[in-house]
Structure 1
Amino acid sequence: MPPSIVLRSSQLIANLDALRAHTAPAELMLVVKDDAYGLGAHWAAETAVHAGVRWIGTYDVGTALALREALGPETRLFAWATSADDEVAQAIRGDIDLGVGSMEYLERVIAAAERLGRNVRVHLKVDTGLHRNGIAPAEWAEAVRRTLGAERAGSVRLVGVWSHLAEASDAEDDAAQALFHIAVREAEELGALLEHTHLTASAATWERPELRGSLVRVGAFCYGVRSADGPEIAELAPVASLTAPVVAIDGDGVSVGIGSLDGLPSSLSGRVTVGTPAGARALLSIGLTSTRIASWAGAAVGDEVVLFGPGRTGESSPTTLAETIGTVGEEILTRLAPGIQRRATDEIVDRA
């Protein structure tokens, strides 16, 4: 059996249920950027929609369009990357909600909608200090007025205001929230009838209820990937395991068929344990195409080793590995080669 990323749909649903219960009455948006952190955007989105999640955040328009075809017209899809004109036109035809964070992009979105004779839902992004895209406070009133003018002309619906938090400190997030509330209030005073406001991602959504708007954008926590150096959250668990078979036995070590060319960081060598049929064993070294593990009595070619995730005693999550080498769990997942098989182990239950 080749290396596999084993996906547990039931655990994803359990995480989504826990997040919705914890953050109600805010509505949950499952974020599937970077192909759902390497786990598969289609698998994650389809599982979530069958479980009753109505919003999917994709980052890019291309993923949103692919998911629109797979999910049908009822799901709300939100793409916030600034896109080329042809992609904007495709997004409008595909009924994608667009995040707009600059005056230049706003004008292009309006122009595309006017050319097509179509109406596009827009979420204006205000810069609250992170400077990761976003309309500057000095330009905010102008942007809102321009959007509302296009709304009266029938080409735009201003449905949301949003932003990103730095999540560097509570004080910085509090200051960002204050700027965000000012922007929302100004938009409403200018005549905007907003369906949603959204400010928080995973950590702030869970830990800072006072920062939540009516919609929360959650990626990593949905997949059971906690914040680096953050606390374990009992209600959330990893949805994926990385497994590989033993391909050779040599003295006091075994080799499994996955290596740095498959995306395993070689810096993990000699620093972590992995799960084997006999329990936790030291990961000795990572080569280009194989990884050497401390052996155990009765080890045999074909035995399954769990590099991370539930399944055997070893590493419990990508974040555990990531903390060892000074990075984040999302990086452990997203660097894994696309060619590694992704396979779901349980069926999706439709509860929508």
Structure 2
Amino acid sequence: MSETASLPSAPLRARAEIDLAALRANVRTLRAKASGAAVMAVVKSDAYGHGAVPCARAALAAGATWLGTATPEEALVLRAAGLTDVRILCWLWTPGGPWREAVEADLDVAVSGMWALREVTAAARQAGRPARVQLKADTGLGRNGCQPGDWAGLVTEALRAERDGLIRITGLWSHFACADEPGHPSIAAQLTRFREMLAYAEGQGVTPEVRHIANSPATLTVPESHFDLVRTGIALYGVSPAPELGTPAELGLRPVMTLSASVALVKQVPGGHGVSYGHHYTTAGETTLGLIPVGYADGVPRHASGAGPVLVGGKWRTVAGRIAMDQFVVDLGGDEPAEGEEAVLFGPGDRGEPTAQDWARAAGTIAYEIVTRIGSRVPRVYVDEDREDRRTQ
């Protein structure tokens, strides 16, 4: 086992245990579902809260061949950690970004418009080497990406820069809007538009290394979208992209993160006792309360006040009253677990504990947000690292 930092030998206030064996198994499942396409492990936002570098290494050891980040800064951290012999795509750029650093680090950079093409070609001139550029098409998501009406101009200018030796067009790609909604008409419409934009670019002379549009839900349910590469994000971490697609177990996935804390205090209180700010919860009768020392500063969603589930002493408990910045309370119903006993907020569910999806339901959000928002003061504790992970260092 390794940890994110040097941790005390005493029990931790809280911990997010990251099961790298589960992550590797998820990669193997996704590779099997990818119809022969290569697999990109998306490790943006610190690997959705799981830790980018350890998760990237584990994913590569299990057969992923690309890494993906949102920002160039995230990608540069991976390079600095020694992940130098793997392709990394970063796609969220703003004017004045670290283009030259990205070019010199041999990153693949996404270009969605003329301003970005101008900046990356200028950086390539400064660096004295061509930039690896992937042109992104907006096929209907309406976020980043080049609109179909502007595609011809972007392709023309990119090909000119390629002929001048300033860039290499390594990819053509897009992103789905509703792949997590089975049968949504936009899925077929975006695929049709993507094929049209691919055909135009390739007809003009673009010869990309990879063409890709499939995210996690499309990897799992839309095989015709796999092309050369699939970008797997949330599924990599064993979280279902949407309840409508199935549970993690039904999709062949296993949740990677288990969030737990040590019970800080157990005390008896009389009936009618208010609990936490605003007294939105009042005890129905004499009972015991348990103090759980994590709160919204740790990423526990305040919107789950009065609803978030926790496993304490082998039983599901519910957050009593408001979740505060550093702590919340559960009504133990007269039970008296010892201080220091484990309280599990979420995990795979094997021991009867809640899952990230249960917390998402309680907070009115999605499971992506539950795992990604867990804050930096909760130590990540990595289990089941193996030699294959270390070989990618």
Q: What range is the shorter-chain TM-score in?
A: over 0.9
Query: What is the one-letter code of the residue matched to 1:107?
Result: R
Q: Which residue of 2 aligns with 1:57?
A: 68
1:279 and 2:315 matched: yes
Separation of aligned partners in 1, 2:325 and 2:74: 31
Tell me whether 1:266 sits opposite 2:302 in the alignment.
yes
Deviation of 1:349 after TM superposition, in Å, equals 4.0
Do the aligned residues in 1 keep the contact of 2:266 with 2:291 (CA within 8 Å)?
A: yes
**What is the CA-CA distance between 1:183 and the residue it aligns to?**
0.7
Quote the offset at 1:143 in angstroms.
1.3
In the alignment, structure 1 residue 315 sits paired with structure 2 residue 354: yes
Cα shift readout 1:96-153 (whole Å, capped 9, x = no counterpart) = 0011111111121112112322111111011112121111212212211211121122
2:140 to 124, 129, 140: 129
Flag the 1:137–1:82 CA change in 2: closer, same or farther, 3 A.
Answer: same
Q: Which residue among 247, 250, 254 is the counterpart of 1:232? A: 247
| From 161, 169, 172, the counterpart of 2:172 | 161
User: 1:144, 1:221 → 2: CA distance?
Assistant: 32
1: CA distance, partners of 2:63 / 2:202: 30
Matches within 5 A, 1:252-263: 252-263=288-299
Question: Secondary structure of 2:388's match?
Answer: coil
Q: TM-score, normalised by structure 1?
A: 0.94
Unmatched tracts of structure 2, length 5 or more: 1-11, 269-287
Query: 2:127 maps to which residue?
Result: 116
Q: Per the alignment, in what secondary structure is the counterpart of residue 320 of structure 1?
A: helix
1:278 corresponds to which letter in structure 2? G
* Cα deviation, residue 267, structure 1: 2.7
Match of 2:263 among 246, 253, 275: 246
* Aligned-partner residue type, residue 139 of structure 1: D
Q: Distance in 2 between matches of 1:299 and 1:60?
A: 45
TM-score for the superposition, normalised by structure 2: 0.85
Question: SS of the counterpart of 1:350?
Answer: helix
What is the DSSP-based 3-state SS (H/G/I as helix, E as strand, rest coil) of the residue aligned with 2:93?
A: coil
Q: How does 1:170-209 map to 2 (within 5 A)?
A: 170-209=184-223
Distance 1:297 1:254 in 2: 9
Go from structure 1 to structure 2 and tell me whether the alpha carbon gap of 1:62 and 1:42 turns closer, same or farther (over 3 Å shift): same
Alpha-carbon spacing, 1:79–1:22, altered in 2? closer, same or farther (3 Å): same
Q: Residue 71 of structure 1: CA displacement?
A: 3.4
Alignment of 1:222 with 2:260, yes or no, is: no
Instruction: Judge conservation of contact 1:283–1:294 (CA < 8 Å) in 2.
Output: yes
- Flag the 1:131–1:278 CA change in 2: closer, same or farther, 3 A: closer
Q: Distance in 2 between matches of 1:32 and 1:302?
A: 33
CA–CA distance in structure 2, aligned partners of residues 170 and 145 of structure 1: 33
Identity %: 35
Matched to 1:293, the amino acid is: V
Larger Rg: 2
Shift of 1:197: 0.7
Query: In the TM superposition, what is the alpha-carbon distance from 1:39 to its structure 2 partner?
Result: 1.4
- Over aligned residue pairs, what C-alpha RMSD do you find? 1.8
Cα deviation digits, residues 199-229 of structure 1 (max 9, x gap): 1111122111112221111111110121343
Q: Does residue 337 of structure 1 match 2:366? A: no
Partner in structure 2 of residue 140 of structure 1:
151
**What CA deviation, in whole Å up to 9, does each residue of 1:276-328 have, x standing for no partner?**
23232333232332221232745101101110013632202x12211233211
1:293 has 2:330 as partner:
yes
Helix, strand or coil at the partner of 2:253: coil
CA deviation after TM superposition for structure 1 residue 51, in Å: 2.4
Aligned equivalents of 1:255, 1:91: Cα separation in 2: 47
Find the residue that maps to 1:71 and give its secondary structure.
coil
Distance 1:256 1:216 in 2: 40
CA distance in 2, matches of 1:208, 1:309: 28
8 Å Cα contact 1:319/1:328 also seen in 2: yes
CA distance in 2, matches of 1:36, 1:233: 18
CA distances 1:163-191 after superposition (whole Å, capped 9, x unpaired): 11111562111111111101100111101
The alpha-carbon deviation at position 86 of structure 1 amounts to 5.2
The CA deviation string for residues 257-281 of structure 1, in whole angstroms up to 9 with x for no partner, is 1122322122323324322232323
Distance in 2 (alpha carbons) for counterparts of 1:327 and 1:193: 41
Q: Is the 8 A contact 1:229 1:323 kept in 2?
A: no
Give every structure 1 segment of 4 or more consecutive aligned residues whose post-TM-superposition deviation is greater than 3 Å.
83-86
Mapped to 2, the partners of 1:343 and 1:298 lie a distance apart of 28
CA distance in 1, matches of 2:25, 2:44: 20
1:69-97 CA deviation, whole Å, 9 max, x = no partner? 22332111100012444500000000000
Q: Distance between the aligned counterparts of 2:67 and 2:214, measured in 1?
A: 15
Gaps of 5+ in 1: none
